[in-house]
Structure 1
């Protein structure tokens, strides 16, 4: 989380809002966690519907933990709201998302062998994870103490209080789409299954969970995949396919600028006439998540899909851009600028990066230009850090400007 000075919290005591936030994150989390724990009348059984929400951890690999998330006492369709990235976007505030996640108990099964995903399949746990409706479940534990912490991660959605359990029982029938059921039984490579589900309109986040739970691939090779890895793997697999198609299309005709924002993250996307290439810039404001000073990071990707280093946020945003170019049957050069302000005081995973970039390209074109430098200057003037940064001097953008053909800097009349 964003680091707020302890002395400020002592002076504030949760009600003066001296940090500038609309409510106290410490008190909000305390109330939500307390509410979740208070709903467990029998400390040995946690009952409710998983939204669905399952995480495969990576610690201890190849013996990993499975986290089965249940909001105690919440059953049926109302449980869906506890993990619904697409439904949250633009509707739920950061506080509301954290509150929802705080109210779910992570039931932890430990030391699961990644090479035996069939154990979870036989108990219908993995099927519950890819159900398109919430699934009534319970978890049984002989532990008396629930660990009352909200855990954060930059890649996946936060999880609430946790307890180690002996067993997880799925109480009703998971609901799977016919296409999903077919591919679970088919003996095809995982990448082929991912692409087939994607092209048939399956929910993106359900595909990620399916890969994580070992439901795809050649049957003799199937294994559990830690959720952190499966998110990037799906972004890469689908991005690879989209890029192979996009590179065959004609270039766009003019320079376009798009914009959208959510959860204190502000995105500008510049598309310009060129063979595919991409630049990713992140601007971290003081007292945003990981820093007390203004930090700028960047990376670039060339026509062949080779990038400086793997960044989960970039892969999520890149996917959204490639989707739009594929839909338009055009290719372009790409500059994505993500500005992270102090409003984003707790990480909620990279889903919001993917979804906000999608919304920018769907709804909010804010300008067209004949000159790339002018487009970059226009975006610079809209930044919260306008007076502290020159985008033209950022390493990857500067390199792009010196390598791009000269006609992009000349007005076309």
Structure 2
């Protein structure tokens, strides 16, 4: 047979690369093999998961799935150990921990699953009732989780939610005495209070965002007849969106900042540069994923995408997902604290060191960390761009081409400069 000169060839798929590599050559471009990281921590947990009876202390933590919506799987996350596990489900306390640290304790969480209709959870029986009680607890709770079969071994990884370990259907669920956060309990018992103001009120009283998101997912807030379970990944984004939108409206009432600022944070292979421009409120978030990163595993080029909104906000869901709202919350928190408004541009470079997704909390806490740092101050946008260009590996022009707000700011600057010129005969 004669060779067909018209045939074209493509690069091996991600799975094909893994077969060739076997974790030794790092052909995907990552600095470590994510499969081996997962296997390593799964093997450590295997001896503890050879039973249908999981007896341990839930952080507390629950997970509401989205597959099959509105009929979804809901249930607790329980590690097979008895100790204070509160850290296991408090992303606000994870910043600075390595991927190994996070995977180590999150992989221990066994997910119990029980089918429930999101709107008929009140009729779903004791298992769902106990799951709700657990979700509203303020600290670790002793739980006995009796499963119908041994947990199926895998580590769930998702860009929106935190990782967790294997799962199995629930036969029985016993929950010890759970002490509720009194602010959450008050919102839960007020069946005439709508969900959005309930979320606002809890946040202003200092309840952690993670705890609000957890309670939101089990239908703890809102008019009684309207309450329903919300898939965990949706509840995370919903709370970030609700809170940041409220803060955003308040921020708009404050004066504009009077100088250019850049805030910076580096963590888990991610570099964030947050630009604040003296102008009325607008917001943009742009991500750049290098080859060998989580969502660009076998590509040859950097992938960039983002979303923005003007002064009036946005009415459609952001293309880049929950990261957009998580970062928006973090920057609005600082502007509220300083009683100022600004045009804000969040730029993120994800490098090959970011080998696996750990949840949208990473963006929120990374940007919060940036907001805690002393900002770099500049007099002009040109100075800002020169500084940004020195920080990123991606050429500055690429960021400008991708950013609607940077292009707008540069265009506005040129118009202002034009009108500022004196007459030729002056």
* TM-score, structure 1 as length reference: 0.89
Distance 1:122 1:346 in 2: 31
Matched, 1:163 2:168: yes
Do the aligned partners of 1:372 and 1:409 also contact (CA within 8 Å) in 2?
no
Is the alpha carbon distance of 1:207 and 1:394 closer, same or farther for their aligned partners in structure 2, counting shifts above 3 Å? Answer: same
Do the aligned partners of 1:377 and 1:391 also contact (CA within 8 Å) in 2?
no
SS for the counterpart of 1:317 is helix
Do the aligned partners of 1:266 and 1:340 also contact (CA within 8 Å) in 2?
yes
Q: Could you list the runs of 5+ residues in structure 1 that have no partner in the other structure? A: none
CA-CA distance at 1:29 after TM superposition: 2.3
Number of the residue aligned with 1:178: 182
Do the aligned partners of 2:56 and 2:143 also contact (CA within 8 Å) in 1?
yes
Distance 1:274 1:285 in 2: 31
Distance 1:392 1:182 in 2: 48
SS for the counterpart of 1:270 is strand
Distance 1:107 1:195 in 2: 30
Matches within 5 A, 1:239-318: 239-291=244-296, 292=299, 293-306=301-314, 309-310=317-318, 311-318=321-328
Number of the residue aligned with 1:31: 40
Matched, 1:75 2:87: no
Distance 2:30 2:252 in 1: 45
Matched, 1:375 2:380: no
Distance 1:241 1:120 in 2: 36
* TM-score, structure 2 as length reference: 0.86
CA-CA distance at 1:122 after TM superposition: 7.7
CA-CA distance at 1:160 after TM superposition: 0.9
Do the aligned partners of 1:50 and 1:71 also contact (CA within 8 Å) in 2?
yes
Number of the residue aligned with 1:222: 227
Q: 2:136 aligns with which of 130, 133, 151?
A: 130
SS for the counterpart of 2:242 is helix
Do the aligned partners of 2:261 and 2:276 also contact (CA within 8 Å) in 1?
yes
SS for the counterpart of 2:152 is coil
Number of the residue aligned with 1:326: 336
Do the aligned partners of 1:121 and 1:127 also contact (CA within 8 Å) in 2?
no
1:351-394 Cα distance to aligned partner (Å, 9 max, x none)? 010011011011242x211111321231122013348x532222
Matches within 5 A, 1:88-127: 88-90=94-96, 92-117=97-122, 119=125, 123-127=129-133
CA-CA distance at 1:158 after TM superposition: 1.3
Do the aligned partners of 2:157 and 2:163 also contact (CA within 8 Å) in 1?
yes
Number of the residue aligned with 1:53: 61
1:186-244 Cα distance to aligned partner (Å, 9 max, x none)? 12001111011000000110000111101111112111111111111111111121111
Q: What is the Cα-based RMSD across aligned positions, in Å?
A: 2.6
Who wins on radius of gyration, i.e. which is larger? 2
Do the aligned partners of 1:370 and 1:408 also contact (CA within 8 Å) in 2?
no
CA-CA distance at 1:20 after TM superposition: 7.6
Do the aligned partners of 2:23 and 2:36 also contact (CA within 8 Å) in 1?
no
Q: 2:157 aligns with which of 137, 152, 162?
A: 152
Is the alpha carbon distance of 1:313 and 1:304 closer, same or farther for their aligned partners in structure 2, counting shifts above 3 Å? Answer: same
Is the alpha carbon distance of 1:246 and 1:322 closer, same or farther for their aligned partners in structure 2, counting shifts above 3 Å? Answer: same
Do the aligned partners of 2:157 and 2:356 also contact (CA within 8 Å) in 1?
yes
Number of the residue aligned with 2:21: 9
Moved over 4 A (4+): 16-24, 117-122, 405-410
Distance 1:142 1:108 in 2: 10
CA-CA distance at 1:255 after TM superposition: 0.2
| Worse-matched range after superposition: 104-113 or 57-66 | 104-113
Is the alpha carbon distance of 1:403 and 1:217 closer, same or farther for their aligned partners in structure 2, counting shifts above 3 Å? Answer: farther
